[in-house]
Structure formats: structure tokens, C-alpha cells
Chains A and B, each alone.
Chain A
């Protein structure tokens, strides 16, 4: 049961205030559920640090504060490639509340924005650490132990068609993921160079589809390549059974949805 709520002026101070008895609250869409159920820590730690709401463009990348909401991403004129991802998260009320930082910690089957971050190869800055930002794959593996996220550095695709996102859900327009897929396929001379593909709701956390990436790398995005990629879609993934879908179903449809996404990206 919560006994105190602390609001700190900086995210670094909030990090120092954390402890085994504390839980950090950003938008509240995940943490407040536990607070309502009485199954969480005794202290809520928050931060009013304005830097958390910053979106800073720099060259071919963008640094997004951990407190930036999905609604802010959805309407930002320089983040149009991420707008479909942000709009796929929850309904309008959730998008006004849910944050980029919080999405990295969202348990299955949530965390669609983190799937896009993984596919884009984002790097994560941890509060109070002067070390270089960490690869998001490491952060996702160690979430719960890494500390508070201050910001996420995201490469911006040179061509809009290089990035694609698909979310399969049972309810539209708002619905939880049966699965989600994000693909970042930079192309040089018509060939894919450095493919990154990530799946959501296909494991305990967003997972990179290394087998798919190996099939795509160095190829053009033609029908034969797409078919081969779809055939290896579930390699290395560990889809769970939940009320939305069984493990069997998720494995069956992963390749189908990957094929649809890649065909859409091939059309440009």
C-alpha cells in the first residue's frame, strides 16, 4: 500500500530516491493499475524534470525524452515515421498519458512502441549515468535492473519507406496486440543493408528476428525474398499463450503478417 508520493525536480534526483520500497511513476497507465490493486511498493517516486518532455532533432537522429507521450509523438511533424506506431497504442486517453519510457517496461502483450525502438536500433540513456547510451536490446533484456530511463536516441530513416510497422489485434481501432512487427530496411542501390526486424507479443519482451534479418540483408525486397523471410519468421521467437491467442496461433500467423508488412514496404 502506498504511504507517500515524492516528486523530484530532476530525473537524476528521482533515480537517487529509488529503492526496494519505491516504484517510479511516469504516465501511470501501467503503475497505477498495480497501485489500485494494492500490489506495489510503499513509495511512489515521480519527477517533474522538463527535460523528460523534450524532443530534440540532431542530424539523422532524434532524442526523445522518456516522459514524451504517445500523443506528442503522433502529432510531431518530424516524427511522422513513428506516428502510426504511437497511434497503435491504446485509445486516445491512454495515448495522452502513456510515455515512451514507460513503454520500454510494458509487460506482454503491451509495448508496441518498444518494438519499433528495437527495430530502429535505438539507444537508451539512463538517469544519473554519464556512460554512453546503451543499446535498447540490452535494456529490454535487463529491464527492472537498469534504473530510470532519461531519454531514447532514435535514428530517423532516410527514406520513409525504409521503416514499416504492423499491429495485429482482435479489436479495431483500439486493441491489444496478437502480435506487432516493426521493420527497418535501409536500402542502397535497391539492396537492403543492415536489416532490423522486431516482433512484439512473441516472447517475454520485444524480440529481434535475427533469422529474418539474415534472409533480408543484401537482397532486394522482391517476392522471393519476402517469401523466404516469412518462412523463417518464428525462428528464435517464443510466443506465449494468453487470452488473445495461443502459442500455436501466433506461430502460424507470424509469417503471414510479416509477409503483409514487407509487401506493403516493397510497394513504398
Chain B
């Protein structure tokens, strides 16, 4: 089966790799491109661990055909930090103990970033809504909500 060349922008840098026919974006990013930050959780669009943004909108990488990102901008949690400097959301997650096992964290961070990019001062309800597609089985969500609100208010240590 012929592989398809995919040229796209990943975390601000142009990348190119080959996708198998029917390969989903999650496998393409992890196996083809080497970005391991989006996680494989359910593979059915339920858990949100594979959340990335495509042209600024959150998508589930496990349900996205890899070929559909040709020419588009993809952001993953791997692109949040600048060198050794963490993103304010990552700092806020640390400060508020918003990660326990950490498996949901990359998806949570991307959903939170997409929210703050379009709404820098969200209400608690808007935060809850924004992460409603991301499941966490450790924290009970409260520390995550507090972390996102703290990042929005600039209270993080960054």
C-alpha cells in the first residue's frame, strides 16, 4: 500500500512524514513524527488524552485521519514549553497539583490552552465546559480547574 506524504506545521515548525492509508493522526504523530505527547487512551474519542489543536481548534487525534492535516497547523503539548521555560499553564498545573498519573495532562493542557487563547478570562463554568471532553481518573478535576483559572489570572509562578 502506498504511503502518503504529509507536510504540515507542528508546534510552529514545518514537518513532513509519511502516513499509512487510513492511519489516524495520533499514530502518525507518535510513530511517524516522534511526538509522544498526545496519549493513546481509548482510541474511540471518549477520553480526550489525544487532544491536539488543528488550526487552533481542539480535535481528537485518534479520530482524525492523518491526511487531513496536510497544510494545517497542529499543536501538541510538546510545543508548550519554550526551551527549559514551561508554559504558564504547565506551571499552574504543577503549583496546583493538577497532575497525578499524568496520562490525561497533555490533553488537558491543550484543551486549556485552546480555551485561554480564545477567552483569556474564563469563568469557572467555561473552564469546566472546555475540559468536559477530557477524562481524568486521578484528581477529581478540582485541581485542574483551579490550575486553569490560576493561569488565566496570571497567578502561576512563570
Contacts and interface: CB of A to CB of B under 8 A. Distances in A.
Interface string A36-69: 1000000010100000000000000000000000
B9 interface: no
A96 B45 CA distance: 12
B67 A5 contact: yes
A94 interface: yes
Interface residues of B, number: 29
Contacts of A5: 4, 21-22, 65, 67
Contact of B62 (A1, A2, A32): A32
Contacts of B57: 71, 96
B133 interface: yes
A77 B53 CA distance: 24
B133 A92 contact: yes
A5 B67 CA distance: 8
B85 interface: no
B62 A174 contact: no
B54 to A, nearest CB: 8
Nearest to A40: B22
B96 interface: no
Nearest to A25: B65
Given A92-B111, A92-B133, A93-B111, A4 B60 contact: no
Interface residues of A, number: 25
Interface in B111-133: 111, 114, 128-130, 132-133
B48 interface: yes
A90 interface: yes
A32 B1 contact: no
Contacts of B114: 92
A248 B22 CA distance: 40
Contact of A93 (B2, B51, B65, B67): B51
Nearest to B130: A92
Contacts of B67: 5, 7
A239 to B, nearest CB: 23
A97 interface: yes
Given A71-B57, A97-B63, A2 B134 contact: no
B128 A173 contact: yes
13 contacts: A3-B21, A28-B68, A29-B45, A29-B63, A33-B43, A33-B44, A33-B63, A35-B65, A36-B62, A91-B133, A92-B114, A173-B132, A174-B133
Interface of A: 1-5, 7, 25, 28-29, 32-33, 35-36, 44, 46, 71, 90-94, 96-97, 173-174
